[in-house]
């Protein structure tokens, strides 16, 4: 019910994208995750982008242009069972371990103070955990659930899914509360999937330098294609 992967054939070529490299990174159990690294002309750093719960890099690769336009490379992996990535998601601990392996690979190419970790929707829980376990320059969260149990409670208020049944917690709020790097949250106040109040709960854990940007009148994924969002991202990248 949480993960909705789209698989891709091994020779899928991503015909609509430019200036990228395909990467296959081996995990601790030998399975390989597939990722795309989009290259800017004169990169100032890299955005490690953890995408939402549905689709694959066939669609999610389109987000890279917002960042490469401002001279940031973008590294976007597909989770296990998504796109060309091998295996299947078995546990939350596995998800976090996979993201750490990928982060370690990035550190071989980029100084850690030039890595921005970004999570969109369900990717926020992984991004927040990854950022607090390391020392990136910045953490950006887009349409983030406070946690999966909190989101489920909001969606199913009559206790259809008691907390002990929820195997994936992805406790974004817990990790934002301990984040040492600056945190920026962007959320549409008409989000139809992850309620906007999730970000208001996150805001209670903010440090003075953390920021919540409310995208008025926008929903869950539709803001990614708006000029307002692109302007906000430009401002964030310039500020940090």
Q: Render pLDDT for 136-150 as a digit per residue (tens, 0 to 9).
A: 999 999 999 999 888
Separation between Cα atoms, residue 94 and residue 75, nearest integer Å: 20
Does some domain include residue 4?
no
pLDDT at 153 over 90: no
Q: Quick one: which of 203, 206, 146, 199 has its CA closest to 170?
A: 146
Does some domain include residue 1?
no
Question: How many domains are there within the chain?
Answer: 1
The CATH number of residue 171's host domain is 3.40.50.1820
Q: For residue 156, what pLDDT is reported?
A: 65
State the average pLDDT for the chain: 94
What phi and psi, each to the nearest 5 degrees, are found at residue 22?
-90, 140
Q: For residue 225, what pLDDT is reported?
A: 93
Q: For residue 43, what pLDDT is reported?
A: 96
Name the percent of the chain lying above pLDDT 90. 88
pLDDT at 135 over 90: yes
Q: Identify the domain containing residue 118 by its residue range.
A: 14-239
Does some domain include residue 3?
no
Q: For residue 65, what pLDDT is reported?
A: 97
**Strand, helix or coil for residue 45:** strand
pLDDT at 68 over 70: yes
Handedness of CA 46, 187, 33, 21 (dihedral sign): negative
The larger pLDDT score, comparing residue 2 to residue 177, is at 177
pLDDT band of residue 224 (cuts 50, 70, 90) is very high
Does some domain include residue 220?
yes
Does some domain include residue 105?
yes
Does some domain include residue 2?
no
Q: For residue 163, what pLDDT is reported?
A: 61
Q: Render pLDDT for 76-89 as a digit per residue (tens, 0 to 9).
A: 999 999 999 999 99
Q: For residue 158, what pLDDT is reported?
A: 56
The larger pLDDT score, comparing residue 240 to residue 203, is at 203
Does some domain include residue 126?
yes
Q: Render pLDDT for 17-58 as a digit per residue (tens, 0 to 9).
A: 999 999 999 999 999 999 999 999 999 999 999 999 999 999
Q: Count Cβ neighbours within 10 Å for each residue of 82-91 and write b for 16 or more, e otherwise.
A: bbbbbbebee
Separation between Cα atoms, residue 116 and residue 106, nearest integer Å: 11
Does some domain include residue 6?
no
pLDDT at 2 over 90: no
């Amino acid at each position: 019910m949480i993960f909705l992967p789209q698989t891709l054939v091994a020779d899928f070529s991503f015909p609509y994208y430019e200036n990228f490299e395909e990467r296959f990174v081996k995990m601790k159990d030998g399975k390989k995750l597939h990722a795309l690294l989009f290259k800017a002309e004169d990169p100032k750093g890299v955005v490690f982008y953890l995408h939402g719960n549905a689709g694959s890099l066939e669609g999610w690769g389109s987000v890279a242009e917002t960042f490469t336009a401002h001279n940031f490379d973008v590294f976007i992996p597909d989770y296990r069972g998504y796109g060309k990535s091998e295996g299947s998601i078995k546990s939350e601990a596995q998800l976090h371990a996979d993201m750490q392996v990928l982060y370690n690979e990035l550190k071989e190419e980029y100084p850690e103070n030039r890595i921005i970790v970004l999570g969109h929707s369900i990717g926020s829980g992984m991004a927040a955990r990854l950022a607090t376990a390391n020392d990136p320059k910045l953490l950006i969260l887009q349409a983030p659930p406070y946690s999966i149990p909190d989101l489920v409670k909001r969606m199913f208020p009559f206790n259809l899914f008691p907390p002990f049944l929820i195997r994936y917690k992805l406790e974004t709020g817990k990790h934002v509360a301990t984040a040492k790097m600056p945190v920026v949250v962007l959320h549409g106040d008409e989000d139809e999937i992850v309620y906007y109040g999730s970000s208001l709960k996150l805001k209670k854990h903010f440090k003075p330098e953390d920021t919540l940007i409310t995208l008025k009148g926008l929903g869950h994924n539709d803001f990614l294609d708006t000029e307002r969002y692109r302007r906000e991202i430009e401002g964030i990248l310039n500020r940090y």
